Structures are given as C-alpha cells and as structure tokens.
Amino acid sequence: MAYETIIVETRGKVGLVTLNRPNALNALNSTVLAEVLAAMQIFEANPRIGAMVLTGSEKAFAAGADIKEMQSKSYVDAYFEDFFVGWEQFARIRKPVIAAVAGYALGGGCELAMMCDFIIAADNAKFGQPEITLGVMPGMGGSQRLTRFVGKSKAMDMCLTGRTMDAAEAERSGLVSRVVPIGELLEEALKAAAKIAEFSLPAVMMAKEAVNRSYETTLAEGLRFERRLFHSMFALEDQKEGMAAFVEKRSANFRNQ
C-alpha cells in the first residue's frame, strides 16, 4: 500500500510506523490519521506481527494536530464530523503499540503518544499541551489521559500554561516508561517490541486489556476482570508450554494458541 505521510516497515515480528511529514513537523492532519489507522489495522490483522512501534523524526514525534487544516473549521463542522473521534480507533488497537518519542510531542502529538501502551522517550523529547495558546484546549484526550498519567497538578499546569515537560520530568512524572539517548531510541523501542512479540500473543493482548481496564473501572471490578482473564489463560496451550518450559529449564516456544 502506498502512503503519503507515513513509512511502514516490518522488523521481524514488529510492525514499525514512522510519521513522515517533515515539513510540518509531523502535524496530524486527516491523511495522517487515515494512514496510521490503516497501517495499524493491517498489522493488527497480520498473525505474524506481535507488537508495533510508532515513531516520528529526531526533531518531532508530532507537533500537534494540523493547525492549518483545522483553523477555518466552524463549530458545526467540528460537531457533525465529531472532529478527532477517528483517533479513538487507534486507542482500540488490541496488540501492543509502543511510542518512540524524540523531539516535540505537542498537543495531538502528546495525546497520540499517550494513546500508545507506553512511551519510550529520547533525551531530547518535549511533551506539552499548548492548545491554550491557540485559544482552544486539548481535544484528543490530553485533559483526560495526561491527568491519569501525571496527576491533577501537573496536568493542570501543562494544560493551563501550555508549558512543555522535558524527558527527565516526563519520566519522573510517570508519563514515559524510560528515557534513552536519542541515538538509541529506535533500537530500544524495537528491542522492547521484539521481546513482547516473542511472548504468547493472547496472553500479551489480555494483559494489555487488563491494564487498560484499570482506567475504566473500580478496583473490585478490575480485580475480578483480571482474575477471570487469568483463569481463561489455563485454556491456552501457551500456558502449558510456558510453565513446562520453566520446569524443564528450557526456553518456551509460544505458538499463540
């Protein structure tokens, strides 16, 4: 499939999507949305792919939603098209997606990174929700997901002042899982994704689903949900294989069954 704004590759069992609008610092227009979704859905449907990595350039993961595309929209345009609702399909991808973020992850760029399952940041990464400087507010999850990641005080600070957070602060605050030198970013993210892809895919997908459920439900319901999924894993051949491999002191050979 020919893409205009992204580069799509596979590295073994890992699907790699690179945002590629260098002249607009990877601003997220409607073409980027359609292409990222299409590429991710193809990886989702490919049984040989176990995890995905989403990245940008060294200068920008993505500098936000495309301001030039949206500036002349009216309220009814935004309302009728339910502007940004398409990105919810990205958040519904069931295989793991790692965001490898270097440079600017601003506005919709920060929100897209937060829709991934975890964020590995380069030491030059800058996260922010600067929508307030444009006379608007976050519209792709920034007020909700950022608050869950970093708590009310920092989320308010970022959404109300529009200031950016550097990689060290983002790691301290729980927004990113690890920070690595910029030259090692892609390698580190691909390594993490390749490790995930070696495990039992149904177990990985259920673990993802369980962690995500913790954001949607009470602790008691979340624990019950986790336990039921855990029970269901005893129907997997991979559970038998994984535990037999441990007992027999050999490495496991998961078959996603």
Q: Which residues bind ligand HXC (CB under 6 A)?
A: 24-25, 27, 63-68, 104, 106-108, 130-131, 134, 136, 138-139
Token digits of residue 133: 């400087």
How far is Cα 85 from Cα 39, in angstroms, rounded to an integer? Answer: 18
Q: Residues 121, 201, 240, CA angle at the centre, nearest 5°?
A: 130
Nearest residue to 95 (alpha-carbon basis) of 233, 200, 247? 200
Query: Is 111 one of the annotated active-site residues of the chain?
Result: yes
Which of 35, 111, 171, 188 is catalytic? The answer is 111
Q: Cβ of residue 25: shortest distance to ligand HXC, in angstroms?
A: 4
Verify whether residue 226 is a known catalytic residue.
no
> What is the number of residues in the chain?
257
Closer residue to ligand HXC (CB): 142 or 202 = 142
Task: Considering the complex, state which of residue 136 and residue 160 has its C-beta at the smaller distance from ligand HXC.
Answer: 136
Decide if 55 contacts 189 (C-beta within 8 A): yes
What's the rounded Cα separation, in Å, for the pair 105 and 83? 20
Residue 41 identity (one-letter amino acid): Q
Shortest approach of ligand HXC to residue 159 CB, angstroms?
A: 11
Complex with ligand HXC: residue 36 or 63, whichever CB lies closer:
63
Annotation says 131 is catalytic: yes
Q: Which is nearer to ligand HXC, 51 or 102 (CB)?
A: 102
Spot the catalytic one: 103, 108, 109, 128: 108
Residues classed as catalytic: 65, 108, 111, 131
